[in-house]
Amino acid sequence: MIIGMTCSHAGNVTYDGRSLIIDGQHRILFSGSIHYPRSTPEMWPSLIAKAKEGGLDVIDTYVFWNLHEPQFGQFDFSGRLDILRFIKEVQAQGLYVCLRIGPFIQAEWNYGGLPIWLRDVPGIVFRSDNEPFKYHMANFVTKIVNMLKLESLYASQGGPIILSQIENEYGRIERTFHEEGLRYVRWAANMAVELQTGVPRVMCQQNDAPDPVINACNGLRCGETFAGPNSPNKPAIWTENWTSFYQVHGGEPYTRSAENIAFRVALFIAKSGSFVNYYMYHGGTNFGRTANGVLQYMLTSYYDQAPLDEYGFISQPKWGHLKELHAAIKLCLKPLLSGVNSTFPLGQLQEAYVFKGKSEECAAFLVNNDKRSNATVIFGNSSYELPPVSISILPDCKIEAFNTAKISTEYGTRLIKLGRKFDSPDIWEEYKEAIPNFDDSSLTTNMLLVQMSTTKDTSDYLWYTFRFQHDSSYNGAVLNVKSLGHVLHCFINGNFVGSEHGKHDNKNFSLKKIVSLNNGTNNVSLLSVMVGLPDSGAYLESRVTGLRRVSIQDKDDFNDFTNYSWGYQVGLLGEKLQIYKEPGASTVQWTRFGNSIHQPLTWYKTLFDAPAGQDPVALNLGSMGKGEAWVNGQSIGRYWVSFLTSKGSPSQTWYNVPRNFLKPKGNLLVLFEEEEKGNPLDVSIDTVSIVKVCGNVATSHPPPVISWVVGQSKTITKHDGRPELQLRCPPESSISGILFATFGTPSGDCESYTIGSCHSSNSSAVVEKACIGRRTCTIPVSSTTFGGDPCPGVHKALLVDAECA
């Protein structure tokens, strides 16, 4: 086992140029971002426990101003917003907290976490040396800090919060504000310090962070890109190590391998880094309308490829490989934190980072930067084989405990199992959203209004309406609309004429349609749709969204309606009546599905029973177009399955429905569908589970790090030098079958495999005996395990693919 430091309630937290110092001890800390509003309170204990088991010391979260103060002076800390409950759960499980108050957070979050009412404050300029903004920012930050102090949650009070962030990535826009930007940075830092929380403060992506605030790095490669602390008395902190990347509608997922993450972390630690936060460790779900939208067109699912996936499952091999990495680095703590470090070359693209203590402690990080070839290096009179782009960690400067490119952890396969398909027209009812005309307007002006200033984020939808006279019927007129929104649906005289949308890399789009005009009055109704508000950049308070120009060209005239008499309706009638909830649903007349012509802007509702068991639940909306979904009145988020990737598939098909949103029977499902082609008859309520685990471990892999023992004065090993293949099914399941097993020279990997030229005939029998009926099993990877060497002199591996049930 590993004997090392365990987390406890901190008392005194300071820092020097090496690391944070907690109760007099220098610490190397691993942290993971888990955002409390992107999951549910019922999920928090499990997520935090899995993070702890994965070797984390700290849980990191932003504070979400626009959720907590949606209206000026009106605060909400209930349910998923109960930040105190979240922090106390972290504390109860013995972990620390890094609290990133911001209050601007970006985070691919609606309006970067700023409340929309700030736009209406006279004279305000966001995130600058502007008195109105500083007044409201200081008020909110002070309120949060005082709440936390009242509950004794700062380390100086015996609580878990050891680090606090003010602002967020301001360095990206600071130059835009010139001297005002520099003054704002100094003000924000001073304001945070004067709150006297008793813990260090940090600013990420802020090279000029004033003392005593620590400047930190965000990115994929902070071991290479970070210029370092701006003072020799500050430690190197990595506040965001992106474990994958956010995904947008129309975009393919970005996959970051476990090997890549491990290499970058090991390099950062080798270069004297002392704090690494994984962004995200659990991404979760953008429930409701919380995802941002001006350029990103964010999915409802967030960082699903993090070490803990959207549903809270351990994502292998990423989770397990990083767990081994953390354990290997913690074997090196004494020389890392108190030793003398040196760096020297081992080859043209190879180098060693060595830490030697005052006694016999010694740790080494052997680095191969060659992207193509293995490298054999000589270190300490011994030879080491380093795979391409990898780091071997030697806790005693002799024996390799871990290599970033050698994965011994199993690979997991997530499966979505069909539950109930809502394929009967008899179970659905529908309600057609009314198309308003100019006469229905609640607001009229002689200009095109900015959408977000008009809706004030109470809805994604804003109706722009006008009417005009035409002296004859004409079927060839051209409607041209330019928009800084995200989607546009057009109706003339109540008839749908077409839709258009932008993309995440375009700031605007245009709709151009041939339309028919009546002789006399013509009513034009344009529904502009936002998929969230902008979340980044300077001058967010003056950002323009919505329609910017409207014209109609007929055979004789060009009519520009940009400066014209316009009517407006904020949101949809169904939203206003809240027909997605039980009381509101009875306020409108629903009709049986299919009794009228299919058209855009249609509400659908049905009832369903919760799937049996405890597996997570997902709603398959693959047959729908674009809209929003509610279960028992709670929004599970926007969907947009009709926005296809370059490969012709939706970016997201299944949508997370937390179990605590459900009742055993009679759950109300409501869909609002914007498009014509949405078909609820192919919607289904499904369950999610891990159904397979696969391992592929070579005889050249190091043994599990857990086989090392750290004594008080020196490191010794008690393992027999053999690597192990470990398989682990999720809780309440076990290994029910072995799909494939070979010890020898398997061809391929866990995604595609065959038996190679060398194969032990005992492979399946040995693995079945060790694993069938067990939740976890461990198999030593050696010829002895399989009753003999099937091919002497050849490097061998064990590859096993198993079913969980």
Per-residue model confidence as pLDDT tens digits over 373-416? 999 999 999 999 999 999 999 999 999 999 999 999 999 999 99
- Farthest CA pair distance, the chain: 97
Quick count: other Cβ atoms within 10 Å of Cβ 548? Answer: 16
Residue 498: what pLDDT? 96
Decide if pLDDT at 230 tops 60.
yes
* Mean pLDDT value across the chain: 95
pLDDT in tens, 161-184: 999 999 999 999 999 999 999 999
Residue 709: what pLDDT? 73
| Sign of the CA dihedral with 469 first, then 473, 477, and 479 last | positive
Nearest residue to 347 (alpha-carbon basis) of 386, 317, 308: 386
Residue 597: what pLDDT? 74
Q: Which residues of 23-53 are buried (b: 16+ CB within 10 A; e: fewer)?
A: eeebbbbbbbbbbbbbbbbebbeebbebbbe
CB burial of residue 121 (10 Å; 0-12, 13-18, 19+): middle
Q: Can you tell me the mean pLDDT for 676-703?
A: 95
Q: Is 675 one of the catalytic residues?
A: no
Q: How many CA atoms lie within 13 A of 19 on its CB side?
A: 23
Using CA atoms of 706, 710, 714, 715 in order, give the dihedral in degrees to the nearest 10.
0
pLDDT in tens, 4-23: 444 446 779 999 999 999 99
d(CA 78, CA 91): 19
pLDDT tier for residue 474 given thresholds of 50, 70 and 90: confident
Residue 9: what pLDDT? 65
Question: Crossing angle, helix 131-150 and helix 83-92, to 10 degrees?
Answer: 40
Q: What percent of the chain has pLDDT over 70?
A: 97
Residue 505: what pLDDT? 83
Decide if pLDDT at 685 tops 90.
yes
Q: Which residues of 54-91 are buried (b: 16+ CB within 10 A; e: fewer)?
A: bbbbbbbbbbbbbbbbeeeeeeeeeebbbbeebbbbbb
Decide if pLDDT at 1 tops 50.
no
Nearest residue to 638 (alpha-carbon basis) of 660, 671, 601, 685: 671
Residue 2: what pLDDT? 38
Residue 708: what pLDDT? 86
Is there a contact between 505 and 479 (Cβ–Cβ < 8 Å)? no
Catalytic choice (169, 310, 429, 675) = 169
Nearest residue to 779 (alpha-carbon basis) of 765, 792, 791, 789: 765
Q: Pick left, alpha or beta for residue 350 (phi over 0 → left; psi -120 to 50 → alpha; otherwise beta).
A: beta
Residue 294: what pLDDT? 63
Residue 6: what pLDDT? 46
Decide if pLDDT at 689 tops 70.
yes
Q: Can you tell me the mean pLDDT for 539-547?
A: 96
CB burial of residue 341 (10 Å; 0-12, 13-18, 19+): middle
Residue 712: what pLDDT? 52
Q: Is 42 one of the catalytic residues?
A: no
Is there a contact between 725 and 779 (Cβ–Cβ < 8 Å)? yes
C-alpha separations of 583 from 35, 579, 606, 637, 665 in Å: 31, 7, 15, 21, 18
pLDDT tier for residue 506 given thresholds of 50, 70 and 90: confident
pLDDT tier for residue 507 given thresholds of 50, 70 and 90: confident
Two tokens at 631? Answer: 């279960």
Return all residues near 741 (Cβ < 8 A) that are at least 6 apart.
Answer: 763, 764, 766, 767, 768, 798, 799, 800, 801
Catalytic choice (240, 324, 361, 430) = 240
Nearest residue to 618 (alpha-carbon basis) of 315, 411, 313, 317: 313
pLDDT in tens, 710-768: 655 444 444 557 899 999 999 889 999 999 999 999 999 999 999 999 999 999 999 99
Q: Report the DSSP pairing between strands 602-608 and 667-673.
A: antiparallel
Residue 710: what pLDDT? 64
d(CA 575, CA 53): 43
pLDDT in tens, 592-615: 998 777 789 999 999 999 999 999
Q: Can you tell me the mean pLDDT for 533-541?
A: 95
Nearest residue to 98 (alpha-carbon basis) of 233, 276, 315: 276
